[in-house]
Amino acid sequence: MTDQTALTEGVVAPDFELPATTDHPIRLSDYRGRKHVVLAFYPFDFSPVCSLQLPGLQNRLAEIQKLDGEVLGISVDSKWAHRVFAQQLGLTFPLLSDFKREAARAYGVLREGGFSERALFVVDKEGIIRYAYVSDLNQAPDNEPVLETLRQLNRQT
């Protein structure tokens, strides 16, 4: 359980810069004006539900990208653990290491145990959160609302 409240729709998304499975750190603001971003917070690499949640996003990645979106997975694990996890699951989107818990804290999804909630945020090209959902830890969230949010954003432009 968190002792904070997750950010909600209509709020400016806090910027962050985190080490990633890419060869360089990723900043949320790098996508501003270019892409919508799906932030997928998850508790830990290699856990059973996370091993379902992230492949679910991978399965919809082409559709997300067609809607001008990108996916960033975020957990407190190291980028080295992320690389092995991504390789085992065949993930092609970046996994970011929130080892210092700064992003989870900023988004209001840091749990008392030092790991993040299972949460999805859609950040539009202007840096505004347009979808926010915190799931039960034991259940992979439905990706359809993410896709519907991206469809709506694309209809508005």
Query: What does each C-alpha distance from 1 to 20, 23, 111, 118 come to in angstroms?
Result: 26, 33, 5, 11
What is the C-alpha separation between 132 and 30, in angstroms, rounded?
Answer: 20
Residue 113 appears among annotated catalytic residues: no
Check 6, 18, 38, 50 and give the catalytic one.
50
Catalytic residues: 50
